[in-house]
Amino acid sequence: MYLAIILYCTTLTDTTSCDVMIRRDYLFQSEVQCEEQIIPMAKGLMATGHYVKAKCFEFNPYGEEA
């Protein structure tokens, strides 16, 4: 399963201008599904002048070993 996370900032050199979005109510079954959702959102933020880092992290909701 994959967790979608986006870090976005309004000012590149000021970390206080940054915020994080996490899609916490939904885990994606594959990295491809995750990227299909996260990339358009990241591009939308970039179009409004934000600096963006988007990533899909592999996530095991049951701990290290299932």
Residue 65 domain-assigned? no
Residue 49 domain-assigned? yes
Residue 63 domain-assigned? no
Task: Count how many domains the chain has.
Answer: 1
Residue 42 domain-assigned? yes
Domain extent at residue 28: 2-58
Dihedral sign (CA 17, 11, 9, 53): negative
pLDDT at residue 66 greater than cutoff 90: no
Residue 24 pLDDT = 74
Residue 41 domain-assigned? yes
pLDDT tier at 65, thresholds 50, 70, 90: low
Contact 35, 6 (CB under 8 A): no
- DSSP H or E stretch at residue 44: helix 31-47
Residue 9 domain-assigned? yes
- pLDDT tens digits for 33-47? 999 999 999 999 999
Question: Taking residues 8-30, what's their average pLDDT?
Answer: 91
Residue 64 domain-assigned? no
Residue 31 domain-assigned? yes
